[in-house]
Amino acid sequence: MDAITPVVIATLGAGTPLIYAALGELVTEKAGVLNLGVEGMMLVGAIVAFILVLTTGSTTVGVAGAAVAGALMALLFAFVTLTLQANQVAAGLALAIFGTGASAFIGKGYIGVALERATPAGFTLPIDIPLVGPLLQALHPLVYLSWLVFAGVSWFLARSRVGLALRAVGESPGSAHAVGYPVIRIRYLATLFGGAMAGIGGAYLSVVYAPLWLEGMVAGRGWIALALVVFATWRPARVMLGAYLFGGITIIQFFAQGAGVGVASQFMSMLPYLATIVVLILISRDATRMRLNAPVSLGKPFHPSS
């Protein structure tokens, strides 16, 4: 392989968990719900998937289980914030803490256990394509699935009727309610979708990427995913860009360290965070364009009778 391909493969891998979690959160936020508990949902997804794969041997079962587990976590959040009208910021942070604790509790007996790698990461192409071929073969199906999710979310938000309703709910729940949209139910479903995606993102880390369970192994990716949604100004394509940018810089600084670049490693590790801030500044400077995409009622509670 040439020098670039390993970087590209690694970048696609590093970006994938962020894509799932951030696209899920994007849909949630587009409905006007701010769920800061992504880290917790990812962790619960990661441990549930890990245990399922360890016991059933099926990655599919594991990933599906993670989606359900993430959605259940999101349901808890949705109940507290949408039905009981609790503050979304606080409930989201509580969810992050609760998820961290719950995943640690469930995963007590699995710390440091690694999964047996039954199947190789990718698959074999029937024909030999130069350059792109080795790249495509090295990617896990979940990477491809993340592209499908991206396509689906993009279409759903931009083109579908339900997506239109969802956006309306996020913009102005009062008017959406007035024209007959079930505001609370749409918000519930959007939140559950966000949870399921976060769960899959966690599963990717624990059963595909590592594949191993360690407490707190999501290691801040849930927070990065949240940041990416803002960074992307609530546009799916920019989520992809942001996730790969963040993943890519992480990877490149490893390659640079491995090649003997003499900068203190702490400064190298800062790069992804600093780059995200810089790009955010560039994107945000145009205030009107930023406002165009931000869900106006993000994080604000809605009660049908108020």
Partner 1 sequence: MWPNRGIAWQVMRISLEPRVAPSRAMRWASPLVAVALTMLLGVVLFAALGKDPLAGLHAFFIAPIDSVNGVAELLIKASPLTIIAIGLAVGFRGNVWNIGAEGQLVVGAIAAGWVALQPALAESALTLPAMIVAGALGGMAWAAIPAWLRTRFNANEILVSLMLTYVAQLLLNYLVFGPWRDPQGFNAPQSPLFPEAAMLPILIEGTRLNASVLLTLTAVAVGWVFLSRSFPGYQTRVSGLSGAAARYAGFSERRTVWVGMLAGGAAAGLAGVGEAAGTLGQLLPSLSPGYGFIAIIVAFVGRLHPVGILFAGLLMSLLYLGGDSAQISMGLPAAAAALFQGALLFFLLGTDVLVNYRVRVRRSATTASAQGAA
Partner 2 sequence: MRIIDRREFLKSASSLGVAALGARAIDAFAQDVLNIGVVHQFPIGEVGWETQQALGWKAIEAAFGGKVKVTAVADVQQAQDAERVFRELASRGNKLIFGTTFSQMAPMLKVARALPGTHFDCCASVTTTKNMGAFEARNYEATYLAGVVAGRMTKSNVLGWVGAFPVPQVLWRLNGFMIGAHSVNPKAVCNVIWINTWNDPAKEKDAVAALVSQGADVLAGSPNTPVQGVAAEERGAWSIANCSDFSKFVTKRQLTGDILDWRSAYVESARDELAGKWKAQDRFRGLGEGGFCTMAPYNPAIPAEVVADVKQREADIIAGKLKVFAGPLKDRDGKERVAAGASLPDKEIRSINWVVGGVNGAFPKS
List residues near partner 1 by CB under 8 A.
36, 75-76, 78-80, 82-87, 89-91, 93-102, 104-105, 108, 161-162, 165, 177, 180-185, 188-189, 192, 215, 220, 223, 226-227, 230-231, 264, 266-267, 269-270, 273-274, 276-277, 280-281, 284-285, 287, 290, 303-306
Closest by Cα among 275, 298, 261 to 26 = 298
Select 174 or 220, whichever has its Cβ closest to partner 2: 220
Question: Could you tell me if 197 and 70 are in contact, meaning their C-beta atoms sit under 8 angstroms apart?
Answer: yes
Q: Which residue has the tokens 């609530």?
A: 234
**Number of C-beta neighbours around residue 126 at 10 A:** 5
Question: Could you tell me if 299 and 89 are in contact, meaning their C-beta atoms sit under 8 angstroms apart?
Answer: yes
Verify binding: residue 216, partner 2, rule CB under 8 A. yes
216 binds, among partner 2, partner 1, none (CB under 5 to 8 A by kind): partner 2
Question: Could you tell me if 200 and 45 are in contact, meaning their C-beta atoms sit under 8 angstroms apart?
Answer: yes
60 binds, among partner 1, partner 2, none (CB under 5 to 8 A by kind): none
Select 219 or 237, whichever has its Cβ closest to partner 2: 219
Give min distance, CB of 267 to partner 1, in A: 7
Give min distance, CB of 187 to partner 1, in A: 8
263 binds, among partner 1, partner 2, none (CB under 5 to 8 A by kind): partner 2
Verify binding: residue 10, partner 2, rule CB under 8 A. yes
Select 64 or 102, whichever has its Cβ closest to partner 1: 102
What does each C-alpha distance from 142 to 47, 108, 198, 228 come to in angstroms?
A: 17, 27, 13, 20
Verify binding: residue 17, partner 2, rule CB under 8 A. yes
113 binds, among partner 2, partner 1, none (CB under 5 to 8 A by kind): partner 2
Closest by Cα among 106, 105, 104, 134 to 122 = 134
Report residue 97 as tokens: 């803490």
Give min distance, CB of 122 to partner 2, in A: 11
123 binds, among partner 1, partner 2, none (CB under 5 to 8 A by kind): none
Counting every residue written for the chain, the total comes to: 306
Select 80 or 198, whichever has its Cβ closest to partner 1: 80
Select 194 or 247, whichever has its Cβ closest to partner 2: 247
Question: Could you tell me if 199 and 17 are in contact, meaning their C-beta atoms sit under 8 angstroms apart?
Answer: no
Angle at 105 between CA 101 and CA 109, to 5 degrees: 145
Binders of partner 2 among residues 225 to 254 (CB under 8 A) are 250-251, 254
- x/- letters, 252..281, toward partner 2 (CB under 8 A): --xx-xxxxxxxxxx-xx------------
Verify binding: residue 135, partner 2, rule CB under 8 A. no
Contacting residues toward partner 2, per CB under 8 A? 1, 6, 10, 13-14, 17, 104, 108-114, 116-117, 120-121, 205, 209-212, 214-217, 219, 250-251, 254-255, 257-266, 268-269
